[in-house]
Amino acid sequence: MNRFRSSSRAAAWAGLLTAAAWGVPEAAWGQDALQGTLQGDRAYRQRITPPANLGDYRHIGAFTYFTSLSYGVEWRDNVLNTESNHHADFIHRPHFDLNGILHVSDRSRLQLGFGVGYSHYMNTPGQDRFNIAPNSELAWDITARDIVVTLYDRFTYTEDVLSQGVVTGVASFPRLDNTLGMRATWSPGRFVVSGGYGHETFQSSAAAFNYVNRATENFFERFGYKLAPQSVAGVEATESFTDYVKSIQRDNTSLSFGPYTEWKITRVVNLIARAGVLNYSFKDIVGQPHLATLSSYYGSLEIDHDLTPHIRQRLMVDRRVTQGLNQGGQYIQSSTVNYNISWGFKPRASLTSTVFMEDGTEARAASSEPYKRFGASAAISYEIMKRLAPTLSYSYIQRTSKLAGRGYEVNAVSLYISYRF
């Protein structure tokens, strides 16, 4: 048996739990129409990819499901993410996952991905939180000849701070992000035409952050041509209309347009690239200085490479413009480089490591904040028996800012035990 494939469950746990411990930038909550569209693309690819751990799934009639339970303890030396006066704490994190597929018919299926957990801080009062994993989604794929229609509800609830580059000085940033929508793809011959709509609701349960509560209407259109069975190139456009609950944040409209490609270069190398122009139009608020419009650009490059039968690596380069998060923030322009490598060095053991760098600026009503971040992590996971796997991880992240008092350094060590049943 391929060693990497046989250790893929351990690698998946190592990567997932390391991300949960400190929040890598790619896991940011849904921002504008383009980011929501790309989340939908990733979710669909995951749904149609046969799981490596198919033998762990159970069956009740037409319903196939997989469940897991994990418990972790994490130590952080700076849970408040501050530049000085660091406060260390232990955080306990029980977590439950359910993944299920209901085969409604031969060409239609309903899929549920749901993860719920709890974070308990031993020595930091008022920070305990429930959370819903970012990969939680209810999706119904309906297929008719060369048309696939998906009805979905994608949702997450988390308090994570470190995945949001502009948030500092707090232990938690609690928010619910829910997108309810529909997307369709028509594939006549070598052409691929798709489009969709999503209604996104974003709300924070903390009074300190309720100024970011908003509703966004997201649309996307895409036209592609298949260069090969697993390669496509084309153009795409998105539109989003954002309405904030509080008038201190600026309602806005954003448009984007550009080319994209998904290219299977070789049997072991996959590339996804896109780039384009975008424009934001901001609603005026009397008495506050602001930009009426912003014209900028976006781009991303993702390369997946099976370096050997035992080693898999991924490089992601991303440049994006998103909604501001601090009070009075209009938009965030950020560039991120993220490298991840997984090594299945034993049939049931894996080592996963991630390094990232981020360079960003948040434009605000009174001033802008340029900032930089660097992070690195490593996790080792081993299935001591078929259904039981511990994961040990370490992560480090540093933030520097042109504004005084808004930097931080965070070290974290965590140990998770997961059980599939």
pLDDT tens digits, one per residue of 395-420 = 999 999 999 999 999 999 999 999 98
pLDDT band with cut points at 50, 70 and 90 for residue 421: confident
How far the first Cα of the chain sits from its last, in Å, is: 24
- The CATH code of the domain that includes 42 is 2.40.160
Is 274 within 8 Å of 299 (Cβ atoms)?
Answer: yes
Residue 23: give the domain boundaries: 3-420
pLDDT of residue 409: 97
Predicted confidence at residue 291, as pLDDT, reads 66
Q: How many domains does the chain have?
A: 1
- Express each pLDDT in 234-278 by its tens digit: 999 999 999 999 888 889 999 999 999 999 999 999 999 999 999
Place of tokens 């997989």: 66
| Exposed/middle/buried for residue 196 (C-beta within 10 Å: 0-12, 13-18, 19+) | buried
* Strand pairing class (175-186; 252-266): unpaired
Q: What is the pLDDT of residues 360-394, one digit of tens each?
A: 999 887 789 999 999 999 999 998 988 898 999 99
Query: What's the pTM value of the predicted model, to 2 decimals?
Result: 0.87
**What's the CA gap between 399 and 79, in Å, rounded?**
14
The H-assigned helical ranges of 278-415 are none
Mean pLDDT of the chain: 88
Predicted confidence at residue 296, as pLDDT, reads 94
Mean pLDDT score, 151-159: 92
As to burial, measured by CB atoms within 10 angstroms (0-12 exposed, 13-18 middle, 19+ buried), residue 208 is exposed
